Amino acid sequence: MERVIFNEDHHAFRASAKEYCDRSLVPRMEQFLEEKTIDRAAWLEAGKQGFLGLDVPEEYGGSSVGDYRFNQVFAEEVSKVSAALSSCFGIHYDCAAPYFVDLGTEEQKQRWLPKFCSGEYVAAIGMTEPSGGSDLAALKTTAKKADGGWVLNGSKTFITNGDMADLVIVAARTTPEKGAKGITLFVVEEGMEGFARGRKLDKVGQTESGTSELFFEDLFVADDNVLGELDRGFIHMMERLAQERIGAAVSNIAHATQILDETIEYVKQRKAFGQSVGSFQYNKFLIAELVTKVEVTQAYVDNGVVAHDENRLTAVDAAKTKWWSAHVQNEVLDACVQLHGGYGYMNEYRVARAWRDARVTKIWAGSNEIMKELIGRDLGL
């Protein structure tokens, strides 16, 4: 079914995004996998092409397009290459950017955003803690007031881009007795004394994304690095989760669609019992179901993107797109592995890596169970 939400500008931007992916990402995938990170050259090239500043005003080095569909297009093209690369870039230009743009002071924007847009600075978001998971209100990282700033102590885990981030937005508890209303956001910068990175985490999938633990031990952060209002960090996070979740949905369904397309070509060529695997009735019916489910989900996600672009996307609707797209993505990729037979279980085949990479989408950005809890509460249950 034809997608109707894009215009000629979006199509031209997609062509540029695809060219970047084909030139700067695809030829180096084995390197990224081996090193378990995206090297700085790929970031700098993305910045040079203008992909990292889509939400950033021009005076700070961005393009300020004011149209979330451009974010969507870039995420889709990168997702076709790798779900892991999409998550790394997405955390930077799609998730972190609104924090800096919406909450930053003029001095902070001038200090950080030009290099953020160029790829000289890579950003990460430090919310998840070893004991907390999706429960952002239960943070244990603390920030105590000191002369001219704050002293941070604590740790974060599962931090995408954590291995190389120059700027980390860290949520810490500043007024413990106020619970969720006592959390503040800080920007921790590379080189600060007391800031340390743990090992690159050995994940089941998304090997090429640098995911790390972060540690803060008596880390002094000046008042100039407080992001947003004191004790309103939890609210700041909640206000920006809708974009994170619709962005996750965009990447989920683009990733599934690409691998399904490749699988359809595979079953046309693969022969068994004298005919193509795809021509067997069960497989034919299965693929028909998968294609329909993917297209229905794509239409739903596209509708969510338009709603977000028009400031109509609610937290509950964002939760719906996030959990459903992750569910469909995993269902589709599991079927694609099956359709590849034994080859689908081999790491050298993209379908195997994609299957592994997708599993985490039902966990991160708020687990699917948390998403359903939000939806259920909204229904009065």
By annotation, the residues acting in catalysis are 244
Tokens 């672009």 belong to which residue?
Answer: 309
Token pair, residue 362, equals: 């039902």
CA distance 236 to 239: 5
Tokens read off for 351: 């379908």
Considering just the CA atoms, what is the radius of gyration of the chain in Å? Answer: 21
CB 79 within 8 A of CB 329: no
Q: ∠68-73-76 over CA atoms, to 5°?
A: 125
Residues 6+ apart with CB under 8 A from 212: 159, 162, 163, 197, 198, 199, 200, 201
HEC secondary structure over 62-122: CCCCCCHHHHHHHHHHHHHHCHHHHHHHHHHHHHHHHHHHHHCCHHHHHHHHHHHHHCCCC
| Single-letter amino acid, residue 49 | Q
Q: Round to whole Å and give the CA distance between 113 and 108.
A: 8
Residues, the chain, total?
381
